[in-house]
Amino acid sequence: MAALSPQEWQAIILSLRVSLWATALSLPLGIWVAHLLARRNFPGKALLNVLVHLPLILPPVVTGYLLLLTFGRKGFIGHYLDHVGIVLAFNWTGAVLAAAVMAFPLMVRAIRLGFDSVDPKLEQAAATLGAPPLWVLATVTLPLILPAIIAGAVLAFAKAMGEFGATITFVANIPGQTQTLPSAIYAFLQVPGGDPQAFRLVAISTTLSMCALLVSELFARHVQQRISGL
């Protein structure tokens, strides 16, 4: 395989940066939302469930356009962010937001399945011993669903790595600034003779995703073995 060009390296590094930030920033919120959907009954629960999963059924370009309307410089929220020096549209930070929004449903779904698999009687038993709800969550529930949390984080990371439609609509395709792996592959396919570069990036993207899945599977299996041995 030929040596990677600076543009290819920039796309790879930016994709990893965007995916890691998107996963890390959305994970606490994902756990909280999954816990709400799995353990709580409240007015508007069905609406929250619909909103969480909406990016899965909307065309990614539509999601990107809605992000642009909301967080662009003249958007409802972006207008105020711009006054404090926070710019998301056409910036790599906007790519993080777009990737997080698109990956969030997969993360929540995986973690919610983990909550559903835990017998509520275990949590009730801890509560009867005087443990406050947050302590029960931190010391009983979360350790038991750690494999689901890992699976959700990896699914989100993989989705963020492959996100294209919402990202290119919200932050464009600027080499060295907002051009992620999928955007770079698309750009190379649009120019004559760009197939070799596109193929290299496809191979790298596939390898990174497979490695992430393998590491998560090994780690989740290790955690499951430790839990079973308790």
Three-state SS across 2-52?
CCCCHHHHHHHHHHHHHHHHHHHHHHHHHHHHHHHHHHCCCCCHHHHHHHH
As given in the structure block, the two tokens for residue 215 are 């590491």
Given this model, what pLDDT does residue 18 score? 96
pLDDT-based confidence at residue 2 (cuts at 50, 70, 90): low
The total number of residues shown for the chain amounts to 230
In angstroms, how far is CA 192 from the centroid of its own chain? 33
Given this model, what pLDDT does residue 226 score? 62
Other C-beta atoms closer than 10 Å to the C-beta of 140 total: 17
Pairwise CA distance, residues 222 & 131, whole Å: 28
- Domain edges within the chain: 6-229
In this predicted structure, the answer to whether residue 227 has a pLDDT above a threshold of 70 is: no
Given this model, what pLDDT does residue 230 score? 53
Other C-beta atoms closer than 10 Å to the C-beta of 61 total: 14
Indicate the residue type of 176: G
Pairwise CA distance, residues 77 & 68, whole Å: 10
pTM of the shown model: 0.89
Q: Are 201 and 8 in contact (CB under 8 A)?
A: yes
Residue with tokens 């549209």: 89
pLDDT, averaged across the chain: 89
For domain 6-229, the CATH class is: mainly alpha
72-82: average pLDDT: 89
Pairwise CA distance, residues 184 & 172, whole Å: 11
Given this model, what pLDDT does residue 139 score? 86
In this predicted structure, the answer to whether residue 166 has a pLDDT above a threshold of 80 is: yes
In this predicted structure, the answer to whether residue 99 has a pLDDT above a threshold of 90 is: yes
pLDDT tens digits for 10-60?
999 999 999 999 999 999 999 999 999 998 888 999 999 999 999 999 999
Pairwise CA distance, residues 196 & 188, whole Å: 9
pLDDT tens digits for 192-207?
988 999 999 999 999 9
CB burial of residue 76 (10 Å; 0-12, 13-18, 19+) = exposed
Q: In 3D, which of 56, 47, 167, 62 has the Cα closest to residue 109?
A: 56
DSSP 73: T
Pairwise CA distance, residues 7 & 96, whole Å: 19
118-141: average pLDDT: 84
For residues 221 and 99, the model is more confident at 99
Phi-psi region of 115 (alpha: psi -120 to 50; beta: other; left: phi over 0): alpha
Beta strand spans in the chain (E)? none
